[in-house]
Amino acid sequence: MANKKSLHIESSGQLCIYCGACVGICPLNCIYLDETRITFDEKVCTRCEICVKACPVGAIEID
Amino acid sequence: MAADLKTDVLVIGGGPAGSMTAKWAAQAGASVLMIEKRQEIGSPVRCGEGMSKDWLHDVGIKPGRWVNLEVEGARIYSPSEKVFEINEKHAGNEVGYVVERVEFDKQLAIDAANAGVEVRLKTAATGILKENGKVVGAKVKQFGTTFDVRAKVTIGADGFESQVGRWAGISTNIAIRDMDTCLQYRMTNVDSDSRYCDFYLGKVAPGGYVWVFPKGDGLANVGIGVQVSQVQSMAEARNYLDAWIAAHPGYAKGKKIDMVGGGVSISAPLKQTVTDGFMLVGDAARMIDPLTGGGIANGCIAGKICGTVAAEAAQTGDTSKAFLDKYEKGWRARLEEKLYRNWLAKEKLTTLSDATFDKIIDALAGVRLEKLNVHNILKAVHEKYPEVTKEFEAFL
């Protein structure tokens, strides 16, 4: 899947407030939250962009 | 490698639903382990901190220092800021307390611990244990060490972002129109009225609302929920909330001292919340009221049933889905009708224009309703704006 868009979750704390909104809405269950970090499974993610909309603070970008 | 553990009941998540489940299971004689992934029960808060109070006695929660203040009612503001006031007399205790969630959650965990529950902090579930298709516990990690907890009954109380339910094979996926993205500031030096919880409807918060829950002395939680299906661009919850605050001088002068966010499900009830050896409860089971976004009461009410059934199952040795259906039937009997009705109302309300909201609130503001229910509301609106109630024929 070389031509997938790039998804970036800013979870260093600059924007992300670790609220878990993206984790709970992800239809493929491929976003993970531990206490200080949010990650996603690059291979499973289809770039549906739902998490981008669900994030209340704009910490998830896609391009 | 730490030694594996055995317990009758394993509760994953130490929020209100988890603590209630754990407490009622322990009180019914089961050995109970409740694990919480964070270092502190109740923190970080992800909540507006407003709750009704008529249900507390039923589930054995006593008001304590977690009560911030008791409000007299709620005020619903239309887009042009006509006001409809709901007070206790006709809202049937739908309004009630503004609370300190950190203290509330801790009190419930203390109640659970005092009932005999073992509580472990910094302990996260990393997977579920299954044997022949039946859930028999979870793989957990505490302070960096991984071990198995074998349980007769495992309960997922891991909140909105629940993983445990999905691991157990229960679909908790929701549509984007069934979720709100939420952001809230705790603000000081604002002109909130300590007698009321305030709600602002319309395009200020598409598909949701702005809330102001007073905490006394010019302190208030000022927050917003926006329906995800109506989000157009990044950071929309924050942008809408900031715009609302900027447009209200009584709040624009305030200072933010705290910021919390989160997802809230506003969905119809799940089709299934139990499977062999496993039950799901609270926000994880999508039990949040789709109209208000409130999840505490329903999580606690279901938690009591869940804990009681879990203990019974552990003691009889029958932890099959067929036995645990007692919980499924129990919580549905208590909550499902209202959840479904409020979901239908939400589906309708999220489509209304600002002009329609104005008419509805204007009609309601001018009458005294004896009792607040859908029929009385529609009747009052119909008398003044019959064209509006056409849209609500399904509810009559």
ipTM value, please give it: 0.91
What confidence score (pLDDT) does residue B380 get? 85
Report yes or no: B161 at the A interface, CB cutoff 8 Å: yes
B186 and B151 share one domain: no
Q: Is the pLDDT of residue A3 over 80?
A: no
What confidence score (pLDDT) does residue B378 get? 83
Overall average pLDDT of the A49-59 stretch: 95
CB contact under 8 A, B46 and A20: yes
Residues of chain B with pLDDT under 70: 1, 90-95, 394-396
What confidence score (pLDDT) does residue B198 get? 95
Say which residue the tokens 């010019």 belong to: B218
Chain A closest-CA separation from residue B248 CA (Å): 21
To probe the interface with A, which of B46, B181, B232 has the most A CB atoms within 10 Å? Answer: B181
Tens digits of residue pLDDT in B104-134: 999 999 999 999 999 999 999 999 999 999 9
H helix or E strand, kind and range, residue A43:
none
The tokens describing B305, both together, are 């049933």
B32 and B44 share one domain: yes
Count CB-CB contacts under 10 A for residue B285: 29
**Which residues of chain A are at the B interface, by a Cβ-Cβ cutoff of 8 Å?**
17-25, 27, 29, 32-35, 50, 52-58, 60-61
The tokens describing B354, both together, are 């600002």
B128 and B168 share one domain: yes
Question: CA dist B61 to B28, B55, B67, B303, Å?
Answer: 17, 9, 12, 12
B281 and B162 share one domain: yes
CB-nearest partner of B38 from A23, A35, A61: A35
Helix axes B321-331, B296-316, angle to 10 degrees: 150
Domain end (from B265, B291, B321) = B265
Query: Which residues of A fall within a CB distance of 8 Å from B176?
Result: 25, 50, 53-54
Q: Is the pLDDT of residue A2 over 70?
A: no
- Spatial separation of the C-alpha atoms in residues B126 and B324, rounded to whole Å: 24
Polymer length of chain A: 63
Say which residue the tokens 């006509």 belong to: B82
Instruction: Work out whether the CA dihedral B128, B129, B130, B134 comes out positive or negative.
Output: negative
B294 and B359 share one domain: no
Chain B closest-CA separation from residue A37 CA (Å): 13
Chain B closest-CA separation from residue A46 CA (Å): 16
The tokens describing B347, both together, are 């589906």
Query: Which residues of B fall within a CB distance of 8 Å from A13?
Result: none
The b/e string for B159-174 (b: 16+ C-beta within 10 A; e otherwise) is bbbbbbbbbbebebeb
CB of B288 within 8 A of CB of B268? no
- CA A20 vs. chain centroid, Å, equals 10
Count CB-CB contacts under 10 A for residue B3: 7
What residue segments make up the domains of chain A, in order of their start?
A: 7-62
B140 and B198 share one domain: no
CA angle B21/B17/B168 to nearest 5° reads 80
B192 and B87 share one domain: yes
What confidence score (pLDDT) does residue B87 get? 81
To probe the interface with A, which of B142, B234, B238 has the most A CB atoms within 10 Å? Answer: B234
Which domain, by its residues, includes B374? 350-395
Closest residue in chain A to residue B171, using alpha carbons only: A27
Domain end (from B212, B239, B265) = B265
To probe the interface with B, which of A16, A19, A38 has the most B CB atoms within 10 Å? Answer: A19
Q: Is the peptide bond before B249 cis (omega within 30 degrees of 0)?
A: no
In chain B, which ranges are E strands?
A: 5-12, 32-35, 50-52, 67-70, 73-77, 83-87, 96-99, 118-120, 123-131, 134-142, 145-156, 179-188, 196-200, 209-216, 219-227, 255-265, 274-275, 278-280
B111 and B88 share one domain: no
What confidence score (pLDDT) does residue B95 get? 63
The tokens describing B168, both together, are 């157990």
| DSSP, residue by residue, B64-81 | -TTEEEE-SEEEEEPTT-
Domain end (from B265, B280, B301) = B265
Query: Which residues of A fall within a CB distance of 8 Å from B166?
Result: 29
Give the CATH number for residue B320: 3.50.50.60
Closest residue in chain A to residue B179, using alpha carbons only: A25
CB contact under 8 A, A53 and B181: yes
CB-nearest partner of B238 from A22, A58, A61: A58
- Spatial separation of the C-alpha atoms in residues B50 and A2, rounded to whole Å: 48
B214 and B359 share one domain: no
CATH number of A7-62: 3.30.70.20
CB contact under 8 A, B262 and A20: yes
What confidence score (pLDDT) does residue B91 get? 63
Question: CA dist B375 to B125, B338, B389, Å?
Answer: 46, 14, 11
Give the CATH number for residue B83: 3.30.9.10
B367 and B382 share one domain: yes
Domain tally, chain B: 3
Query: Which residues of B fall within a CB distance of 8 Å from A60?
Result: 234
B312 and B390 share one domain: no
Closest residue in chain A to residue B241, using alpha carbons only: A56
B272 and B363 share one domain: no
